Amino acid sequence: MNAPAPALPAERDADVLVIGAGPAGLHAAFYAAWRGLNVTVLDARHEPGGQLTALYPDRRVYDVPGLPATPAADVIAALVRQLDGLPVRLRPGTLARTLEPDGDGWRVGTTGADGPRTFRTGAVILAAGLGALLPREARVPGTHPDVRTDVPDPARLAGRRVLIVGGVPQATRAALELAQAGAQVTLTHRRAGFRGSPAELDALSEAGRSGQLTVLAPAVLLNVTPTGAALTVDGQPRDVPADTVLILNGYLPDLNPLQSWPLQWQGEYVPDGPDGRTALPGVFVVGDLAASGQDFKLISVGLAQAAVAANHAAHHVRPELRVRPGHSSEKRLS
Ligand SMILES: Cc1cc2nc3c(=O)[nH]c(=O)nc-3n(C[C@H](O)[C@H](O)[C@H](O)COP(=O)(O)OP(=O)(O)OC[C@H]3O[C@@H](n4cnc5c(N)ncnc54)[C@H](O)[C@@H]3O)c2cc1C
């Protein structure tokens, strides 16, 4: 049986802090926790999955071993499911900004919904991909008291009139979730089609037909007003009253928060040794951010790097643990 994770030293928040909850970060978290370490995973986004859930959750991925033709969101769901029962804490909505030595470990400063925080850890695994995936700015003329680029907790918008602007999967999902939570939703996009999984698109058509929400597309958002927004639908002007306007245009990666860390950056990459080590002891890098991957920005490559780096990180934090993990098939979870 796998030994339960030993108690953390009192001064530490985690044995291993993983920055980035994309596929590489999730698998690194799995492996470090499987080896018996306490793991915390930070991500700037409010859900795990990195590029897969932010940029293409609805598209099928064909080259992840063992998961043929699987929607990207389901690849992530499987990686998250694999953390069940392991000592892994996910901290979504948390942006890593600073790194300072802390005895034989590290201190990572973050900002997020809970305000600034410091995480003290024995090792850091950087799985930051292309950078923090932050919502694209809303550039809409006019003023409205509640324009957002993220989706608040659906319960907070129950009973409110919500205009959602965008054709990305996040917009489709938000429309469905908010309508379900009791918001009066209007979804609009400049094109006729929306993106989403087949099930979500079916649900959207059904919700539009049944009047659970209103779909206006193709339509052009002209400007927001203090009480809603002005659109043109089929060439005709239309005012849509709204208490909240969500402009959901997808995400843009931002590496700036990490680029001041002394990692001997090569452009947008962090140089790594064969075991995932960076220039800083106890700081490892995996996935798209690792220079060794070169042109192979692939989920499968990141997963392999994660397995290697996490086992080296485990040995770094607890030298009594061998680097080699042995075979999982010879162990059992309690
Ligand atoms: C449209 C598209 C299609 C693709 N299709 C395929 C495919 O079919 N097969 C394939 O193998 N690959 C595909 N890829 C590539 C694949 O998505 C990437 O290789 C993979 O996502 C890299 O994983 P990662 O964990 O290294 O980084 P990411 O997925 O980029 O995750 C990094 C995470 O780190 C977070 N982060 C970054 N900086 C910080 C910070 N300072 N603080 C907190 N969080 C931070 C980000 O918010 C993000 O969530 C595709 C990519 C795109 C864009």
Ligand 1 atom 44 nearest Cα: 43
Please name the residue ranges forming H helices in 211-298.
256-259
Strands of the 244-247 sheet, one edge to the other: 147-148, 244-247, 161-165, 184-188, 214-216
Residue nearest to atom 2 of ligand 1 (CA): 56
What pLDDT does 128 receive? 98
Full pLDDT tens readout for the chain, 334 residues: 345 666 777 789 999 999 999 999 999 999 999 999 999 999 999 999 999 999 999 999 999 999 999 999 999 999 999 999 999 999 999 999 999 999 999 999 999 988 999 999 999 999 999 999 999 988 899 999 999 998 888 899 999 999 999 999 999 999 999 999 999 999 999 999 999 999 999 999 999 999 999 999 999 999 999 999 999 998 899 999 999 999 999 999 999 999 999 999 999 999 999 999 999 999 999 999 999 998 899 999 999 999 999 999 999 999 998 888 888 888 765 5
95 Cβ neighbours under 8 A, 6+ residues apart: 42, 44, 110, 111, 112, 132, 257
Which residues make Cβ contacts (< 8 Å) with residue 139, sequence separation at least 6? none
Fold that domain 137-249 belongs to in CATH = FAD/NAD(P)-binding domain (3.50.50)
CA distance 238 to 69: 42
Residues whose CB falls within 8 Å of the CB of residue 157, separated by 6 or more in sequence, listed in order: 178, 181, 183, 244
- Are 308 and 23 a contacting pair, CB within 8 Å? no
Distance 48 CA to ligand 1 centre (A): 10
d(CA 314, CA 220): 53
The reported pLDDT for the residue numbered 1 is 37
Q: What is the pLDDT of residue 332?
A: 65
Q: What is the DSSP letter of 308?
A: H
CATH of 14-134+252-330, one of 1.10.3720.10, 2.60.200.30, 3.30.70.100, 3.50.50.60: 3.50.50.60
The pLDDT of residue 3: 53
Bridge-based pairing state of the strands 117-126 and 283-285: parallel
Q: Pocket residues for ligand 1 (CB within 6 Å)? A: 19-25, 42-45, 50-52, 55-56, 61, 63, 95-96, 127-133, 257-258, 287-288, 297-300, 302
Distance 210 CA to ligand 1 centre (A): 37
Give the residue range(s) of CATH 3.50.50.60 domains in the chain: 14-134+252-330, 137-249
DSSP labels, 157-195: GTTSEEEEE--SHHHHHHHHHHHHTT-EEEEE-SSS---
Closest residue by Cα to atom 51, ligand 1, is: 51
Residue whose Cα lies nearest atom 5 of ligand 1: it is 61
**Measured in angstroms, how far is the CA atom of residue 232 from the centroid of ligand 1?**
36
Kindly report the backbone phi and psi dihedral angles of residue 165, in degrees, each rounded to the nearest multiple of 5, phi listed first. Answer: -115, 120
- Those residues whose C-beta lies under 8 Å from the C-beta of residue 92, and which sit 6 or more positions away, are 21, 43, 45, 46, 47, 48
Sign of CA dihedral 159, 160, 164, 168: negative
